[in-house]
Amino acid sequence: MTTPEQSLPKTTSGFYEQPQGTQPQPFYAHGQPIPYQMPPQHQQVIQVLTPKSPGLAAFLTFLWMGAGHLYTGAVGVGIALVLFELLVLTPLVFLFGLGVVLWFLTAPVAMFFAAMSATKFNQRNGIVVR
């Protein structure tokens, strides 16, 4: 007596040829099924970048010097400006009132460079802002 597995011709892939509409049967070696190995799965990493607004970067710098640069990803400049405001401008405001004058001189420059940093971020990452 022959089993159904013996009556079907084997193929090179390890499966018996099946009549149409039926599931393939695994090839058994020494009474054990040969494990099926999944093909390697490649994960695709998608990085989503949002456009940075030059106006928002300038406004954040107006509120807290360095915040606009931190927003645009210029972390080194942002931290330097935050430290400048905390260690230089704030003590000068409380001690002599010179910090206000110095802030009015440095804030517009920092706001301009924060806006430029946002524009460069958008250009560097291929983001078109209309």
Question: What is the distance between the alpha carbons of residues 64 and 61, in angstroms, rounded to a whole number?
Answer: 5
Q: Are 15 and 26 in contact (CB under 8 A)?
A: yes
- The pLDDT assigned to 24 comes to 58
Of residues 16 and 45, more confidence is placed in 45
Question: What is the distance between the alpha carbons of residues 75 and 20, in angstroms, rounded to a whole number?
Answer: 63
- The pLDDT assigned to 64 comes to 92
Q: Are 46 and 34 in contact (CB under 8 A)?
A: no
Q: Distances from the Cα of 41 to the Cαs of 13, 23, 33, 35, 73, in angstroms?
A: 20, 24, 23, 17, 33
**Percent of the chain scored above 70 by pLDDT?**
70
Q: Which helix (H) or strand (E) holds 33?
A: strand 32-33
Q: Are 66 and 82 in contact (CB under 8 A)?
A: yes
The pTM of the full predicted model, rounded to 2 decimals, is 0.61
Please say if the pLDDT value at position 18 is more than 90.
Answer: no
Mean pLDDT across the chain = 80
Of residues 105 and 10, more confidence is placed in 105
Residues 6+ apart with CB under 8 A from 125: 49
**CA-based nearest residue to 115, from 80, 68, 64, 83:** 68
Of residues 73 and 99, more confidence is placed in 73
